[in-house]
Structure 1
Amino acid sequence: MRFNPDKTAFGRHETFALRFGWLTKGTQALMGGDPVFEADDATVQLGVGKNMVSSIRYWLQAARIIVRQGDAWELTKTGTYIFDDDGFDPYLEDEATIWLIHWLIASNPEMATTWWWFFNRFHKPEFTSAELAAALQDFAQAQVKGRHAGSTLKTDAAVLLRMYVRSSVATGTPVEEALDSPMSILGLISDLQGSKTFESRPARRDSLPAPILGFAILELLDALGERQIPIEDVMRGRTGLPAIGAVFRLTEAALLAKIERLVHDLPDLFALRETAGIHQLYVFGRSAPAEILAAHYADTFEEAAA
């Protein structure tokens, strides 16, 4: 979660943006017990090409769904909550899960450096693909240790756009290529019709559930080793750490409204107070970030059953 210039990753996706079904397909194969990603028949088990096998494994790591433990891959706690046999949403049917995966990727500078940089540190509301690639190269040259090929960074910028912008598909495009990434439904980046310009602006984000924001806040507080945080730090972040308001592209008013909803719905966990003229969010107890997901999914299950 904390940016380390010595630990970064570019171009690990094999030029493929995250696709619908990949996280589910990868976790289900993994839970089968075999070392699927290293298996000789991995392409058969996953039903994709060799480079796509590597890409699925990468996106599972970038989204913090799996982690290497010794010689084996295991689901993380969050991965288990979502994708286990009894998981909350293994087929990504709830948009809240897409928001969660977005946070998990955008707060992972070690495995998804370009995504971390764009959503936490790139604040230009309108830009072209060339401007995005140039800004990424400036960032890499100034703040990342080691050398990174310009072509790799340009590809990263292109994959990021492909992943978050809804595509305009031409007739004759293969079906799999025509499927947008699940991230595209969030509306965090869009192309301006009639131009080669993209935009990514703060907005209300009504589809972002407050508990997903709460999950991000708890993770940030765990990284800080603190149980309180100024609202300003939630919005803009601290040096080297995610800026939650920026990651979700929220306006300040929208961020505060969602925090107030969290405090209202989970008063035993969150409280808003003003100390020395600074609005701060307090967290009580030692609730694990993944546990707050139940606050959203339990309500969702009840609504579906009603």
Structure 2
Amino acid sequence: MAYARHQSFYIRDRWFSKGLRAVKQNKRFFFDEFAFETIGLGKNMLESLKYWLLAFDVLEERTEEGQRVHVLSELGDILFDSDRLLQRNESLSILHYHLVRNKKDLSTVFDWYFNKYKETMVSKGDLFNSFSTWVSQNEMKEVSQNSLKRDIDCLIQFYTKVPDVNDPEDVLFCPFSKLSLMRSERSGERDDTIRKVTPEISTIGISSLYYVLLDYDRISEDRLISVDEIVNSDNLWGRVFNLTRNKVVEVLNSLTTHDKYPIEYIRTNNLDYVRVPAISSVDYIKGELLKG
């Protein structure tokens, strides 16, 4: 598990585009001593940007000819070609999913908050205490409380740092606030109240939800998955996007009429299942994003 690798910086507007373009031009960019000057960020910000690109699964580190380099993943290439400025909510939703999935074990606090933590409304202080308790129960080593606090602060800002409507040149907002997955409410002199929010389906995007479903590791060989699993399992719609069962069913109903890859409803042993087509999540989203 990993903590506070973001250097206390949530990802800012235009960072994603800058990072992808820099790696496209120079595989050794993030190993360059003066890369921060080239890209116009501070040294800690540059480390933060590298962290986010790795945690989003759009950047891969490998060794070529004895040197460490970075290359864009297949998903990174797709987003670079289709939406590197992250103007589409579908792109943000997919990257959010990769943070929550935490495949590279880089974004523990996101995995914990969306997959493990069940409370929908909590004070900021209690949120930190719950995370600290969970870490102490699941980590072999002691983790700095300051690191955990930075993770909680970053998590909240990641989804609540909205643009300043009075400043059209505001670049300090986080683009992921557009997903409306969390709200931070002032509570006078007490800690802010943090709420999980159920967004509108149109805010998340049906194509990104379909991507998440196709990317799920535990779909059976006959491509069946239960509706209950989609609602309640880690890394699926109910957990990742705070969706209710009614919202999940609404999306599934719409996917039965998908023009190219319709799903099929099946009822077995009094349980509702869907059968999904045998297409990879990357191949599917490539067609969806590049055609848009």
1:297 aligns with 2:289: yes
- For the 8 Å contact 2:262–2:277, the answer to whether it is kept is yes
- 2:240 equivalent in structure 1: 247
SS in 2 for 1:264: coil
- Secondary structure in structure 2 of the residue aligned to 1:207: helix
Question: Following superposition of structure 1 onto structure 2, how do residues 283-294 of structure 1 map, counting pairs within 5 Å?
Answer: 283-285=276-278, 287-294=279-286
Question: What amino acid sits opposite 2:110 in the alignment?
Answer: W
Q: Which position in structure 1 is the counterpart of 2:227? A: 231
Q: Secondary structure at the match of 1:69?
A: strand
Q: Does 1:156 align with 2:151?
A: yes
Q: Deviations over 1:193-247 (max 9, x none)?
A: 5552121133443322212111111111x3556422111111111xxx4243111
Q: Which residue identity does 1:77 align to in structure 2?
A: E
Q: Establish whether residue 197 from structure 1 lines up as the match of residue 225 from structure 2.
A: no
What is residue 269 of structure 2 aligned with on the other side? 276
Match status 1:101 vs 2:98? no
For 2:16 and 2:220, how far apart are their aligned partners in 1?
Answer: 30
1:102 CA displacement: 0.9
C-alpha separation between the residues in 1 aligned to 2:52 and 2:122?
Answer: 26
Give the fraction of aligned pairs with identical amino acids, expressed as a percent: 21
DSSP 3-state at the match of 1:192:
strand
Q: Deviations over 1:130-156 (max 9, x none)?
A: 111111111111123322111111110
Give the 3 Å change call, closer, same or farther, for CA 255–53 of structure 1 in structure 2: same
In structure 2, the residue matched to 1:38 is: 31
Root-mean-square deviation over aligned CA pairs: 2.3
| Partner residue, 1:89 | 83
Displacement of 1:28 in angstroms is 0.3
Residue 5 of structure 2 is aligned to residue 12 of structure 1: yes
Q: Partners in 1 of 2:87 and 2:275 — Cα distance?
A: 32
Residue-by-residue CA offset, 1:236-277 (whole Å, 9 max, x unaligned): 11xxx4243111111111111112212211564522211111
Distance 2:290 2:62 in 1: 31
Q: Does 1:219 align with 2:215?
A: yes
The answer as to whether partners of 1:235 and 1:252 remain within 8 angstroms in 2 is yes
- Mean Cα deviation higher: 117-126 or 137-146: 137-146
CA shift for structure 1 position 38: 0.8
TM-score by length of 1: 0.85
Residue number in structure 2 paired with 1:139: 134
How many residues are paired up? 281
Amino acid at match of 2:76: G
Contact 2:13 2:174 in 1 (8 A): yes
Q: Which amino acid aligns with 2:123?
A: T
Judge conservation of contact 2:163–2:170 (CA < 8 Å) in 1. no
Partner of 1:72: 69
Q: Is the 8 A contact 1:29 1:45 kept in 2?
A: no
2:18 to 19, 22, 25: 25
Deviation of 1:165 (Å): 0.9
- Report the CA distance between 1:13 and its aligned residue: 0.4
Distance 2:23 2:290 in 1: 26
Q: In structure 2, what is the Cα distance between the partners aligned to 1:268 and 1:95? A: 21
In the alignment, structure 1 segments of 5+ residues that lack a partner are 1-7, 302-306
Q: Check whether the contact 2:213–2:236 (CA below 8 A) recurs between aligned residues.
A: no
Partner AA of 1:147 in structure 2: E
From 176, 181, 187, the equivalent of 2:174 is 181
Structure 2 unaligned regions, length at least 5: none
Q: Retained in 1: the 8 A contact 2:89–2:205?
A: no
Measure, in 2, the Cα distance between the counterparts of 1:157 and 1:270. 38
How many angstroms apart in 2 are the aligned matches of 1:233 and 1:145? 30
Q: 1:129 aligns with which of 124, 127, 131?
A: 124
Cα drift, residue 284 of structure 1: 2.7
SS at match of 1:67: strand
